[in-house]
Chain A
């Protein structure tokens, strides 16, 4: 499927035009994206480091995972909204940027990982889950989200 027309349409849309015309608005979008990234990272790390037995050992991991997931969803929505706005302004350039596609792939893996594997698994009592599986999942989760962040930053360098 040819995606270039979609990216061209995105760039000429109202969203793309606003981002291209008003540098200040675009910069605010970038700041919201970074702020949301920090929040998302915090929720991912606090859950995964708890599962690894590094942080908050006196608090049940079920409580940490449940509470952190609420803010994870807020941060994810903010990241997706601000990210779409940022990408729209330079959509055609993004289409030709390898790191953009790497980030999109990592993001898709991250979202699927959270909602298809991590959340369903963590909904039940954590004591019933194989500790090795729990720890492996936590490490994989940290790696996926750090890849999302790192590939996102490298979009600007390439």
Chain B
């Protein structure tokens, strides 16, 4: 397990340590109001980003706003959804920057990152499927099966992203604790970790 991916873990750790050493990282972490406002913004913006995503997915599943053409709903709600996600990406990066080493070596953060990637791929595939079948079912209350699967998967993935995001605050699998080799590897713990 300590081959190429072990080297990658080492690079990620070194990068996090470098970030941690920058002046603004410490300042951000130490600033009670700034850090908490950024974190609050990250959480509250869920209402805009995930809120709009919910409505699009529920429409595709035929569970809400079935009288509105699916493509119209998706196109209109995409804009506020992306405004929300943009704010979340910016605040998320700032939160990482404020606590880089612990976050980079958090198993929950790593799982969240993977889930975010899978959710992005799923969203892209869903968008492609919707574009390809445009006009054939737009006014139907329920979308075709392959699109419904994509919408259901989207909801499940975001449930996972929210959960793992929340779990980052817990230190059950932090590197300073006694962990098995597998957990240490997945969390990206490195030997003689000083931070």
B151-172 contact mask (Cβ, 8 Å, vs A): 1 or 0: 0000000110011001100101
A34 x B166 contact (CB < 8 A): yes
Residues on the A chain within 8 Å of B55, using CB: 42-43, 46, 68, 71
Given known pairs A63-B67, A154-B40, the reply for A31 and B163 (CB within 8 Å) is: yes
Contact A45 B43 (CB under 8 A): no
**Interface size class of chain A, counting residues whose CB lies under 8 Å from the partner chain:** 35 or more
Chain B interface: which size bin? 20 to 34
B-side contacts of A70, CB under 8 Å: 64
Chain A min CB distance to B32 (Å) = 8
Residue of B nearest to A64 (CB): B65
Measured in the bound complex, the distance between the Cα atoms of B43 and A30 in whole Å is: 12
Per-residue A-contact encoding for B58-77, CB less than 8 Å = 1, 0 else: 10000011011000110011
Name B34-83 residues within 8 Å CB distance of A. 36, 39-40, 43-44, 46-55, 58, 64-65, 67-68, 72-73, 76-77, 80
Secondary structure of the B side of the interface? helix
Q: List 19 A-B residue pairs with CB atoms under 8 Å apart, sorted by A's residue number.
A: A34-B166, A35-B162, A37-B47, A41-B46, A42-B54, A44-B47, A44-B51, A45-B52, A46-B77, A56-B72, A63-B65, A67-B67, A70-B64, A71-B54, A146-B47, A149-B43, A149-B44, A154-B36, A157-B36
Question: Which B residues contact A (CB, under 8 angstroms)?
Answer: 32, 36, 39-40, 43-44, 46-55, 58, 64-65, 67-68, 72-73, 76-77, 80, 158-159, 162-163, 166-167, 170, 172
